[in-house]
Chain A
Amino acid sequence: MFRGAPLRNPQWENHLFRRRVIVAALFSGALLAFVIIRLVYLQVVNHEHYTTLSRNNRVDIQPLAPTRGLIYDRNGVIVAENQPTFSLEVIPERIDDMEATLTAIRELIAVSDNDMERFRQILRRKRRFEEIPLRLRLSDEEVARVAVNRYRLPGVEIKSRLARDYPLGPLLAHTLGYVGRIDERELQQLDISNYAATAHIGKTGVEKSYESELHGRVGYQQVETNARGRVLRVLERTPPVPGRNLHLNIDVRLQQATQEAFGEEHGALVAIDPRDGAVLALVSLPSFDPNLFVNGIDSASYNALANSREQPLFNRALNGQYPPGSTIKPLYALLGLETGEIRHDTQIWDPGFYMLKGDERRYRDWKKEGHGWVDFNKSIVESCDVFYYDLALTLGIDRMSEFMRAFGFGLPTGIDLTGEAAGLMPSREWKRRAHRQPWFPGETLITGIGQGFTLATPLQLASSTATLANFGQHLSPSVVATIEEPGSGPRSPLMVRELPPVRVVDNTNWQRTHRAMINVVHSPTGTARGINRNLPYTIAGKTGTAQVFGIKQDEEYVVEDVAKHLRDHALFIAFAPAEKPRIAIAVIVQNGGGGGAVAAPIARKVMDTYLLDSDGKLREEFK
């Protein structure tokens, strides 16, 4: 009936519009009336009901903490699990006289001043109906004592919680890390609802970097509580989803062997499978007991750990930056062959020192009388310094820097742990930026023997050794092998992360370098010949010594005269079996002295543990 009014008809439009406005007004009134009816129903008709709900029976939503995922080593040995512990918790809302209650509790069980202080801090922050832990890890006897007296302690409850436990203690502390109480800063970055029931979060190591896998999803229950807050019944329950389990590449046996081989010495060892970058061992010594941190370490113990001169909390494998010393000579030798600056039979004369033109300074060889005629092989086997002074000067810092970065020096390895140090591979550009100075030729010389500015972490040394062993294939090291769905569900292996490979012009250069490194261990003049006794497989290695203490031009370095903490660091890199590398290792023994004598035997012991069976024969899978 409205169709087609060819001309405007103001009268008709006005009429239509006014009707619509009236309808709109009626509609508005009707909607509001509808709302008012609902409100009368809520506030008048059912007022009693809702008052009861609000005053006496509170519907409360309680979050349920998910069980944290377990962690296993490569052979299925459990390294992080959850143990039930009892804790004493207080709900302020239900307590009339807080001081009296606290005194009563302290008469029953021991509560340290530390615990009291922490309790009072949380008390100020939390809401009054939330439970606050007062004492953790109650003994069975303490649980019984509180339970018997519970009738006179309203608002005090014993809660059973699962607490993280590291059965092997210090053995994997630097790799696994530990969980601790969630702190204020973390609270601001968290998904609050998912952590509603969780008290702990991964602080370092695998526990931190795989937090989202390990944590799981929070569950909830809707409960009816009475006026005093006691739960009357559970109305609804959504169970939590446990976290995923992790299977590590780490082999606990190798960790153990490393710890034994180090004895009282300090340092770090990293072992990597060159084929896939799997981290087989990651050790930093001395270590600490991660279990101390789980339920809050008291400040005295913490200060003792943090201020110890031995720095047990410092992860040397990831964050310790050391001059790599002679361990990087094989790489410069390889670069020399690659660029054609030397041939494998190029010989130079080593009189025991090296001098730059127009410079009085003598760059000394570690062997005072010199090595005589030195070629490619001998330079690695006997670790001749003068050969590398000369080579470095020919190569120049630019080519050296570029090549070493391809092996990962000066760059993070990309390991699946947080906070690794990047080390330092100097370059002209870096020197200008950091020191506002040009690059000096003398600095090129000492860079050639791994001293000077160059710094590397044990992890970087192991990773570059794996790259060298694997003909330039460069992989990111990975600590975690597979992630398992809760309840032994399906496992998904993590991807091998490839980095840009190191490419060479002539592949025989790899073999020449490997050959020379084998001679370091297996030839009678090799610097690591001490470890070749009864060796059922071949090791390719390179020793190194990193100076801690600068000695003047005309002084002698006499071990006995130098205080222990100023002695040289002993280094050793190696891979085995040399023909078919399955394990690449970097060891550093802090203030240990010589690499061949101190560091190499540790590597040998770890390799034996990994490669040999109980009869001392090479395992089938490594042949």
Chain B
Amino acid sequence: MILLDAQHASRRSQVQRLHIDWPLLTGLLLLVGSGLLVLYSASGGNLDMVLRQLTRLGIAFALLLVFAQMPPEVLRRWAPLLFGLGLVLLLAVLTMGDVGKGAQRWLDLGVVRFQPSEMMKIAVPLMVAWYLAETPLPPPLRRILVGVAIFAIPALLIARQPDLGTALLIISAGTFVLLFAGLPWRLLSFTALLAIPAMLTLWHFGMHDYQRRRVLTFINPENDPLGAGYHIIQSTIAIGSGGLYGKGWLNGTQSHLEFLPERHTDFIFAVLGEEFGLLGILLLLALYLFIILRCLYITSRAQDTFTRLLAGGLTMTFLVYVFVNIGMVTGLLPVVGVPLPLVSYGGTSMVTLMASFGMLMSIHTHRKLLKT
């Protein structure tokens, strides 16, 4: 073990003290910038909307910086508390939350309205990683079961709000942490088999009518051309008619004639597809892939079990986020109301995402100055 050269350290300290991972930050900035471009078109040239989004981005990047300064050890210490608080808030939402757009998701704290389910997107991978890091990997079956319970309980609470999209994201976050911890593949395939009867039960007893309708609509969009089916029909037309090169910025007919619903939020990807074509989409996907691979690199360089599991879980949640949104807009997946991360208009998801990127940067930059 040798201490790093003190002089060397001081020369780099100015930059290092910020605890920023420059490649990741560059990727995020490029993504966010192209997102604003698309948003300007999707909002029908509404500069106010773009400015509001820009303000949110500013806040979110500030949060990223704050989290990047926090050593992983701090996160680890706070994990159980954060998770416990999240659970309490979720219960509070179910009993006395505000009903917005027909679902109970918001908690009114007087000054701000707050979605505890959003906070759980970070708290769940933190908690599962904290729990699994206590013992050597791979975890024994008992530990795996407790780990499943850690994400299943909040997921159930969130599904009851009802917010299927977020519940799925939380389940996948937890599952990915388990997978990074070395969950045996056999166990995973066994669970997948079990999932079939479980899903049937869910269908019959656990779903709201509108959720069932969404699943049915996914299987056959023509079924319900007014609600979600209309979304899918119109978004596939928008993307398909975009072709290789697209119709050009601000020239999407589907979106500007207002055929396309939710075009600046959940369905913004369709606007991109229509106006910039396959080439534009490939560029965006390349950016996403770059960010994900960079995060996986960070994951692989992480030094202890907790940070490894946390980094892996956060990264894969981001991937699922991207995939679920694009899958939904292109008609591969049912419409579950997940925004396109860092591009869709709206503040809540952006804040949590930036916070998790901040954690990833912190993991990467707070390396112990040791060498084995």
Contacts and interface: CB of A to CB of B under 8 A. Distances in A.
Interface of A: 2-9, 13, 16-18, 20-21, 24-25, 27-29, 31-32, 34-36, 38-40, 42-44, 46-47, 49-51, 53-55, 58-59, 61, 127-129, 220, 222, 235-236, 238
A20 B138 CA distance: 12
Which interface residue of A4, A36, A43, A61 has the most chain B CB atoms within 10 A? A43
B182 A47 contact: no
Nearest to A129: B257
Given A13-B305, A21-B300, A43-B244, A31 B222 contact: no
A129 B258 CA distance: 10
B308 interface: yes
Contacts of B305: 13
Interface in B232-285: 233-234, 236-244, 253-254, 257-259, 273, 277-278, 281-282, 285
Which interface residue of A7, A35, A36, A236 has the most chain B CB atoms within 10 A? A35
B131 interface: no
A20 B182 contact: yes
A28 B319 contact: yes
Contacts of A50: 236-237, 239-241
A24 B177 CA distance: 11
A597 B305 CA distance: 98
Contacts of B242: 43
B315 interface: yes
Contacts of B202: none
A31 B138 contact: no
Contact of B316 (A4, A24, A47): A24
B241 A222 contact: no
Given A21-B296, A24-B296, A35-B326, A61 B225 contact: yes
Contacts of B180: 17, 20-21, 24
A46 B240 contact: yes
B137 A39 contact: no
B258 A127 contact: yes
B323 interface: yes
Interface in B147-197: 176, 179-180, 182, 184
Contact of A59 (B237, B285, B319): B237
9 contacts: A17-B137, A17-B182, A32-B288, A39-B239, A42-B273, A59-B225, A59-B234, A127-B258, A235-B222
A16 B244 contact: no
A35 B278 contact: no
Which interface residue of B140, B184, B225, B319 has the most chain A CB atoms within 10 A? B225
Which interface residue of A17, A38, A44, A220 has the most chain B CB atoms within 10 A? A17
Contacts of A6: 136
A43 B278 contact: yes
B45 interface: no
A13 B225 contact: no
Given A17-B308, A25-B293, A38 B332 contact: yes
A24 B305 CA distance: 17
B24 to A, nearest CB: 15
A37 B225 CA distance: 25
B182 A2 contact: yes
A9 B288 contact: no
A39 B330 contact: yes
B230 interface: yes
Nearest to B257: A129
Contact of A16 (B137, B258, B300, B326): B137
